[in-house]
A = this chain, B = another copy of it.
Amino acid sequence: MRQELYDLAVLGCGPAGLSAAVNATIRNKKVVVVGAEVCSPPLHKAQKINNYLGMPDVSGGELLDRFVQHARQIDIEILNSKATSISELNGLFSILLGDEIITTRSIVIATGIPYRATLPREDYFLGRGLGYCATCDGPIYRGKDVIIVAHSSEAEDEANFMAEICRRVYYLPLYKNPGKLHHAVQMVDSRPKDIMGDEFVVGLELKDGSILNAEGVFVLGGETAPDRLIPGLEIKDNHIVVNRQQETNLPGVYAAGDCTGPPYQVAKSVGEGQVAGLNASRYASRQSG
């Protein structure tokens, strides 16, 4: 367990997250950023950005590099990890990152374009055999068959873990070149079509027409929907509800960038990140004061 108490934990290392972190760091706050290996994949892939004022005609990758460089230049700590759940006690937030926990006075959520369900009826089956964290729910499936639908290589560790406790683990990678998996993990070369079951998951229908029987389906390695991460967070039209101060409905929790709604644009994200970072800093000061 990390022993430091942070003033601010930023979830996401895209334009909004880094802007929040830079602004809070300049206010002498103790800041940590939790982000994926590639910060903001949509920006990373953008061929040309010509509307971030002051830096005309750059590629998305170049802009992102400069953003990360700005953050590193002032020694901002960036953890290559992902928050899997968040709880609050006495005004302090505990954030679970895999098998590590960090504790913070305030949070800025900047996780990008919101998660969309991969499979039809995902919401219906959530908690009825469908889950987003295999290591969390794993023990329930001891000795049983499970299916892992994997958005990225981040899912591989969880698949290997499940292979040790489940009877069968089917692995459907939705990305290219999956790495080496536990010998008991059965790789499936097809795309998922629909979850099968009435009240509970009984299997998965694939696009090639075949069927996999299983009691559990995990969708892993994608973005976690923020309201699953923090219970009670107000969401509307799939986006986190914020006011002009970037405050969510939960005290100490701010949000910025694409996760708060369109336009999905760099300057909008950087601006909102700044406001969120400054207001979270002020909140943390009041809490520690």
Contacts and interface: CB of A to CB of B under 8 A. Distances in A.
Contacts of A67: 53-54
Contacts of A23: 51, 265, 267
Number of copies: 2
Give the one of A15, A242, A263 with max B CB within 10 A.
A263
A267 B54 contact: no
A271 B267 contact: yes
Nearest to A66: B54
A53 B15 contact: yes
Contacts of A54: 52, 55, 63, 66-67, 70, 270
A56 interface: yes
Contacts of A15: 53
Contact of A273 (B19, B260, B267): B267
Contacts of A272: 271
Query: Could you tell me the dominant secondary structure of chain A's interface residues?
Result: helix
A74 interface: yes
Given A271-B269, A278-B263, A73 B51 contact: no
Interface in A260-289: 260-261, 263, 265, 267-275, 278
Contacts of A55: 54-55, 66, 70
Interface in A88-135: none
A8 interface: no
A269 B51 CA distance: 14
B278 A261 contact: no
Contacts of A52: 54, 270
Nearest to A23: B51
Given A271-B272, A278-B263, A26 B50 contact: yes
Nearest to A277: B51
A280 to B, nearest CB: 12
Interface of A: 15, 18-19, 22-23, 26, 50-56, 63, 66-67, 70, 73-74, 242-244, 260-261, 263, 265, 267-275, 278
When A and B form their complex, which 5 residue pairs have the shortest distance between CB atoms, in order from nearest? A271-B271, A267-B274, A54-B66, A19-B53, A268-B271
Given A50-B74, A53-B70, A265-B278, 17 more contacts: A18-B53, A19-B267, A22-B53, A26-B50, A26-B51, A51-B274, A53-B67, A54-B63, A54-B67, A55-B70, A56-B70, A263-B274, A267-B271, A267-B273, A268-B274, A269-B271, A271-B274
